[in-house]
Amino acid sequence: MERVKADPRAVTPGGTAPRLAFAMDIIGYGHRDPGAKEALRVRVDALVGRVLADLGIPHMDAQAEASGDSTVVFLPSRVPAAHALPRMISAVAERLSRDNQRYQDRMRLRMAVSVGRHGFTEELYRLVDSRVLRQAISDHEHANLALLVTPDLLHSAALDRADFSEVEIKTKESVVTAWLRVC
């Protein structure tokens, strides 16, 4: 999996075809010492690799952008979002839970998932950094993962809407609707 430094203004890698992408941000990263930070970055990379393997996507076919405690992963355009999303959410939650069983330093993540063409990296960063997502994971101390899914994905994928709550996210330019799940 190619890993490059994140640029929120970057265009979607791989051309103009829509791509499913997700952003992850490690909770409490800034309060850890440098060794713990590096260990968490390694664990997130391994988690992403395992999730891609669970989806049947070769590492070399995905692209990840990293910036400190955040990672954005773009899946290949050939991967149908509606079919991959339910498996991806399950794989992330399951893999994160397994990872936390192996380490004393519990890793918790905020995650946002969207599909787009050019320049939607910034949208993912805004969602993953939103006050709503931060509050959701803060309110659920037992949870390892809080995620937002854009409405187009929720409606097209075979997701159980009962697992999600509709929320409004205020960004610099607008108010957007997303679907929240804490697990």
| Beta bridge mates, 180 | 148, 165
Task: Report the side by side order of strands in the sheet with 70-74.
Answer: 2-5, 63-67, 70-74, 19-26, 109-116, 145-149, 175-182, 165-170
Which residue in this structure is represented by tokens 């992408």? 21
Q: Which residues contact 35 (CB under 8 A, 6 or more apart)?
A: none
pLDDT digits (tens, 9 = 90+) for 29-53: 999 999 999 999 999 999 999 999 9
* The pair of three-digit structure tokens given for residue 102, joined into one six-digit string: 């192996």
CATH of the domain at 44: 3.30.70.1230
Q: Is the pTM of this model over 0.75?
A: yes
Pairing state of beta strands 63-67 and 2-5?
parallel
At 56-113, the pLDDT tens digits run: 999 899 998 888 899 999 999 999 998 899 999 999 999 999 999 999 999 999 999 9
**In which domain, by residue range, is 126 found?**
2-182
Domain count, the chain: 1
